[in-house]
A and B are shown apart, each in its own frame.
Chain A
């Protein structure tokens, strides 16, 4: 017991463990489809869109998580509806929303909270956060499991999905909303800036190593869980911010995956 200081155990308390598992599971499962569809930068950008919501919460004294959630949700709805007019591409619109949101966020966010919003602060997780994570996590996991085949078909080929009569537009919107939810959920634990990374990295590493969709999904989950656990542990051991540590571990796994590449 003397080898590790006590805060390490605080870091990996049951509360943190639970929140970490739910965030890792949601992020790595969504990542399978994000990486497959080459939407990687979109999940990254979405994580920045959350900032003004966080800032508003901090300024006006309501739960920043709810602020982030609301801003993400409406951004996705607005982006989708403008996209349907067919003039600007989805990527362009996300780019516009992302930079504008980042600018607004940086302007209004109280300076002492800036780092926390960008990189998360797991030490501040309380019962409310656990409840929020549990609810959102259940919702996200339920939808992914329930629509796994539909999302897989669309990711593999939207032509094929159309041909079978799937409502590709509606499923795409649902997927983006799930992505937005998972970004909002991850903000507390690893921060807005790095949540996008937790969606992309485990799935990318898994894609390097997997020879099947089943393998890709399972490996992505495993890599996501390892990233969160090892990252939190190292953050505790060296008293470093947890968000960047989680992402560093994830990036290291990605680096290793390059060596087992199944071209």
Chain B
């Protein structure tokens, strides 16, 4: 977000539309916003008040992609943790986003829920031809789902395909201690790039 100095440049095939899924969303649970309305807030013109057929269709479509179609008229404040994740991902892809940024979005959700959402993201990326940048410290998840990894610990440590990168030697250098990735080490961020 422009907070840290950086060097280098990012070259895009074409300028992407970014969808951002935050780690944890602080929001007012008493505000009576429905899931449909949340997505419609992203539209232009009078679509919030009198949504066009096409806009409504796109809302339903986005929600269906994250298996959240049944939550359309539910209030956002009443969703469970897993439901909220799926709605937020639907919100991120709504409006033809082609690049999704996940900032450790799944903390606080049980492992089973997590696994299904990781699978969902992988599925979405393929189906909608999305680029997904996923920030995670969970090496199991990284090794299972990433096409390409960037390891960061203050500086760039390594980048490439997970099987080649996540070797004991590399991990030792990254974490400063011998480690194999089935050991959950929750201290250092590992950038996980999947495209």
A242 vs B49: C-alpha distance in the bound complex, in angstroms?
A: 34
Question: What B residues does A215 contact at CB under 8 A?
Answer: 32
Question: What A residues does B27 contact at CB under 8 A?
Answer: 156-157, 159-160
Question: What B residues does A36 contact at CB under 8 A?
Answer: 28, 30-31
**Given A148-B48, A156-B27, A159-B25, A212 contacting B20 (CB threshold 8 A):** no
A217 vs B106: C-alpha distance in the bound complex, in angstroms?
A: 33
Query: B177 to nearest A CB, angstroms?
Result: 34
A156's contact among B20, B31, B48, B49, by CB below 8 Å, is which? B31
A149 vs B42: C-alpha distance in the bound complex, in angstroms?
A: 8
Query: B150 to nearest A CB, angstroms?
Result: 22
In chain A, what residue has the closest Cβ to B91?
Answer: A160
B122 at the interface (CB under 8 A from A): no
Number of A residues contacting the other chain (C-beta, 8 Å)? 24
Number of B residues contacting the other chain (C-beta, 8 Å)? 19
B76's contact among A149, A156, A164, by CB below 8 Å, is which? A156
Docked-complex contact B49 and A207, CB < 8 angstroms: no
B137 at the interface (CB under 8 A from A): no
In chain B, what residue has the closest Cβ to A217?
Answer: B49
In chain A, what residue has the closest Cβ to B88?
Answer: A160
Question: What B residues does A38 contact at CB under 8 A?
Answer: 28
Q: Encode B147-167 as 1/0 by CB contact (under 8 A) with A.
A: 000000000000000000000
Question: What B residues does A156 contact at CB under 8 A?
Answer: 27-28, 31, 33, 38, 76
**Given A149-B41, A156-B76, A213 contacting B25 (CB threshold 8 A):** no
In chain B, what residue has the closest Cβ to A38?
Answer: B28
B194 at the interface (CB under 8 A from A): no
Residues of B112-129 at the interface with A, using a CB-CB cut-off of 8 Å, are none
A158 vs B48: C-alpha distance in the bound complex, in angstroms?
A: 19
A86 at the interface (CB under 8 A from B): no
Q: Encode A162-178 as 1/0 by CB contact (under 8 A) with B.
A: 01100000000000000
**Given A156-B76, A157-B25, A159-B25, A211 contacting B34 (CB threshold 8 A):** yes
Please list 14 pairs of residues, one from A and one from B, whose beta carbons are closer than 8 Å in the complex, sorted by A's number: A36-B28, A155-B28, A156-B27, A159-B26, A159-B27, A160-B22, A164-B20, A210-B32, A211-B32, A212-B33, A213-B32, A213-B33, A213-B37, A216-B32
Residues of A within 8 A of B (CB): 36-38, 148-149, 152-153, 155-160, 163-164, 207, 210-216, 262
